[in-house]
Structure 1
Amino acid sequence: MGIGTAAPGHDNAVPKVRSVSLGRPLAWLTAGWQDLRANPIASLAYGLLFAIAGDLITIFAWRNGQIFIVATSGFFLVAPLLAGGLYEISRRREAGQSSTFFSSLAGGRRNARELAKLGLLLATIGFAWERISTLLFALLAPAISPDLPSLLAEIHLSADHRDLLLIWILCGGTLALMVFAITVVSVPLLLDRRIDFRTAMLTSLRTVDANLRLMVFWGAIVVTLTALGFLTLFFGLIVLMPLLGHASWHAYRDLVE
């Protein structure tokens, strides 16, 4: 089946994409904030789950810094799919419907098979990143202490580990950029329309191609706000993840006809 071929029962038309101005992310964030204020309990429930997951990773991986680093960096690879409920809240509000946390979960059932295929792809990329990261640490820095504080201190202070840090950042950054390009509008598109995941990813890639500078700007905003949430021991994610999730829905609506 070709990349632009739809599965049975799905629309085989590739959606058209728009080119929009560089300042639009500010409008997306404003609209996302309005969605959050209109549905605070359901939205913040997702943010709380993100924060709890982050803190649990910290607690259980504190003595294994490699696992902690891989898990937190891998968050960027799977976050677009995990935010599906937030897209559904925004979609329902746009349709004049209120939302609860449980009603937002129902959105994934409309196109569950294609969302599952995309989820499997993201999980495969996440597993590949875990293997790559573990291999890099084993080959380039086998003597580093496994606990997180020692690991961070040695990588940061020792010139011997700069190659590891550079290669790790390049590999992780490449995977993150690839995931961003194929998911920036594909997940909300799959939630919104009966379309197959290949067409959704193709539409996402075409959107990035048509708005390259804008997508770089938007990606920088997403990474910065997410990193800010990490620096607050993940509790900042309680607000920041719903904000970004809702804003991403409005980005999709702005960019795809």
Structure 2
Amino acid sequence: MWGLPKVETASFGVTTLLARTAMSAPPAAELPPIAVSAITLNPLRLGDPFRWLRRGLHDVMAAPGSALFYGAWFWGMALVLGWVFRTRPEYTMSLASGCLLLGPFLAMGLYDTSRRREAGQPPDLGQSITCWDAHMGSMGMLVLVLVVLELLWGRASLVVFAVFFNTGMPSTTGVMEAIFNPSNWGFVAVYMAVGGVFAALVFSISVVSIPMILDRDTDALTAGITSMRVVIENTAVMLLWGLLISLVVAVSLWLWGAGLLLAGPLLGHASWHAYRGAVASPPPAPV
């Protein structure tokens, strides 16, 4: 009869003692949060794009073989685009989406050459050709987004042509008349406005995202958002950079696109230095 109350009393005493001990004991140390290094952007100045071009030219001179290889590819794409523009101009933008499938991989080879020079390593054409295979997932996703934008751009161009040319799609002569004939400035304004919107989107997403994927092996979403942050936080500098790119490409296309033999590699290497200048290097990993 008296054993059970004693057991309950003892149990109650032990429970009370454990509760008091838990209350008086210091709180257990929390697990440290997972370290996620924030991507820091560097402030840019209006003189930086010219510095990027100068450094890109140094890379071209340091690796002329790689520059000639990639420049020939860029020139070949320009010749194909020019031929399509002369024969079926309404499909020019659609074909440009195909160039976006190849262009980023060619550019990544140039980025790899610049990166090797930064590290004090000799240029390696073979390594630059296959440097993208370790980043296939991120590159594939980013290129898919760019291709979708380019296809939408091409479709919007067809709609503009259809609305402003009631007799059907224009020939190359019709396109030239639309550009230089004051009566067709409405068409030119709409076409440039639509193209400008898509060009701004493509430029904002890709200006530093592809070299960032090569350098940090980051995912496409992070790279794309970082690229857009660079444009938003340094709008004036990025507008100047986009204008310089357009100017260099326009001048290089003057003689059947032959200037792309130099302009393509030059802009590729310069884009790597633009990424280096805009995105701060990650902090060293703790030992």
- For this structure pair, what is the TM-score category when the shorter chain's length is used for normalisation? 0.7 to 0.9
Identity among equivalent positions (%) equals 33
Q: Which residue of 2 aligns with 1:189?
A: 212
- Per-residue CA deviations over 1:60-92 (Å, capped at 9, x if unaligned) read 442222224664699689855641211111111
**2:253 aligns to what SS in structure 1?**
helix
One-letter amino acid of the counterpart of residue 42, structure 1:
S
- Normalising by structure 2, we get a TM-score of 0.78
**Counterpart among 267, 276, 281 of residue 244 in structure 1:** 267
The answer as to whether partners of 1:141 and 1:161 remain within 8 angstroms in 2 is no
Which SS does the other structure have where 1:86 is aligned?
helix
- Tell me whether 1:92 sits opposite 2:116 in the alignment: yes
Q: Deviations over 1:188-245 (max 9, x none)?
A: 0001112111111111122122211111111110111111122221111110111011
The structure, 1 or 2, with the larger RCO (C-alpha pairs under 8 Å, 6+ apart) is 1
* Corresponding residue SS for 1:57: helix
Q: CA separation of 1:15/1:26 partners in 2, compared to 1, >3 Å: closer, same or farther?
A: same
Whose radius of gyration is greater, 1 or 2?
2
Aligned residue number for residue 226 of structure 1: 249
**Alpha-carbon distance in structure 2 between the residues aligned to 1:184 and 1:204:** 6
Question: In the comparison of the two structures, how many residue pairs are matched?
Answer: 246
Which range moved further: 204-213 or 125-134?
A: 204-213
Q: Give the match for residue 213 of structure 1.
A: 236
1:173 aligns with 2:196: yes
TM norm structure 1: 0.87
Alpha-carbon deviation of 1:14?
A: 3.8
Aligned counterparts of 1:154 and 1:77: Cα–Cα separation in 2: 32
Q: Structure 1: any 5+ residue segments left out of the alignment?
A: 1-10
Q: Residue 121 of structure 2 aligns to a residue in which SS?
A: coil
Which residues of structure 2 form unaligned runs of 5+? 1-34, 281-287
1:7-60 per-position Cα deviation (integer Å, ceiling 9, x unaligned): xxxx96441101022111121111111111111111121111111121123234
Shift, 1:256, TM fit:
0.7
CA RMSD of aligned residues (A): 2.4
The 1:190–1:139 alpha-carbon spacing in structure 2 relative to 1, beyond 3 Å, is: same
Structure-2 change in CA distance of 1:80 and 1:25 (3 Å): farther
- Aligned partners of 1:61 and 1:67 also within 8 Å: yes
Match of 2:175 in 1: 152
